[in-house]
């Protein structure tokens, strides 16, 4: 399922540098139909633009680490756990995390058990996230909530549980559900968690304007497939800007 692009007005404020924006982007390589050649092409994009990380499918981690395309760069190798539905058992999520870390994954984006949070079992949500955080052995864990399925109260409870469990980020969505990141959710996330927890937007962040507006609201990392388009647009605007 393709999530609609976030529709925001054209950004009129000061423009950050290309490097500043690049280091906000997790270049996403998660679509199920991607071939090894597609993954290789995506890694070259990530290397060229020196993004914060690539986020690859679990089955691709070992090959990405051993392939060496990102060696000598500051681009981290990230992956996902229980993606995209979050329906694995806690033990499975812990095993998957530990296996991927052993293979060289440097960042973990995990999907919560959405139904358990909707049922009000925030203790389960907290404890499951904590177990994954422990298995990640110091690697940043970004907790995906799939906000489109949650009420305001459920969102707040989930974000608080993630912080209590030691998560590094709260994240809006997988990009594979009916809805993705929204300005309202980014603002709520930033208001709910302390400065110790960062906010990641994913799902529909396909333009520079969307990225800059959500960054203004508090998001510091963005899952994106339109990395080159976003950064090329920034470069053109900086070239012609009078601000």
Query: What's the domain range around 129?
Result: 18-237
| Residue 1 covered by a domain | no
Q: How many CB atoms lie within 10 A of CB 216?
A: 14
pLDDT of residue 241: 83
pLDDT of residue 202: 97
The CATH number assigned to the domain holding 85 equals 3.20.20.70
- The DSSP code sequence of 151-166 is -HHHHHHHHHHHHHHT
| Residue 106 covered by a domain | yes
Q: Which residues pair with 167 in a beta bridge?
A: none
Intervals of the chain under pLDDT 70? 1-2, 242-243
Q: pLDDT tens digit string along 58-88?
A: 999 999 999 999 999 999 999 999 999 999 9
pLDDT of residue 5: 87
| Residue 191 covered by a domain | yes
Structure tokens at 155: 């969102």
Q: pLDDT tens digit string along 152-177?
A: 999 999 999 999 999 999 999 999 99
| Residue 3 covered by a domain | no
In the block, which residue shows the tokens 């393709």? 2
pLDDT of residue 2: 67
pLDDT of residue 115: 98
| Residue 71 covered by a domain | yes
pLDDT of residue 1: 52
pLDDT of residue 3: 85
Instruction: Give the chain's domain count.
Output: 1
pLDDT of residue 226: 97
pTM for this structure? Answer: 0.96
| Residue 227 covered by a domain | yes
In the block, which residue shows the tokens 């392939």? 67
pLDDT of residue 54: 98
| Residue 185 covered by a domain | yes
pLDDT of residue 79: 98
pLDDT of residue 41: 98
| Residue 99 covered by a domain | yes
Residues with active-site annotation: 109, 171, 200
């Amino acid at each position: 399922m393709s999530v609609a692009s976030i529709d925001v007005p054209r950004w009129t404020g000061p423009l950050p540098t290309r490097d500043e924006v690049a280091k906000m982007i997790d270049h996403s390589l998660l679509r199920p139909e991607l071939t090894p050649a597609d993954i290789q092409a995506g890694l070259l994009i990530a290397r060229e633009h020196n993004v914060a990380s690539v986020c690859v499918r679990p089955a691709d981690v070992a090959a990405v680490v051993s392939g060496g395309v990102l060696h000598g760069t500051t681009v981290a190798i990230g992956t996902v756990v229980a993606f995209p539905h979050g329906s694995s058992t806690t033990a499975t999520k812990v095993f998957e995390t530990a296996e991927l870390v052993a293979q060289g994954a440097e960042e973990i984006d995990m999907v919560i058990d959405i139904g358990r949070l909707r049922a009000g079992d925030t203790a389960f949500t907290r404890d499951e996230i904590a177990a994954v955080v422990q298995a990640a052995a110091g690697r940043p864990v970004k907790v995906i909530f799939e906000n489109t399925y949650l009420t305001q109260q459920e969102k707040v409870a989930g974000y608080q549980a993630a912080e209590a469990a030691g998560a590094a980020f709260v994240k809006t969505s997988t990009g594979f559900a009916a809805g993705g990141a929204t300005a309202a959710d980014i603002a709520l996330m930033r208001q709910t968690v302390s400065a110790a927890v960062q906010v990641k937007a994913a799902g529909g962040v396909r333009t520079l304007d969307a990225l800059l507006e959500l960054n203004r609201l508090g998001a510091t990392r963005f899952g994106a497939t339109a990395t080159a388009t976003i950064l090329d647009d920034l470069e053109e605007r900086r070239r012609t800007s009078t601000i």
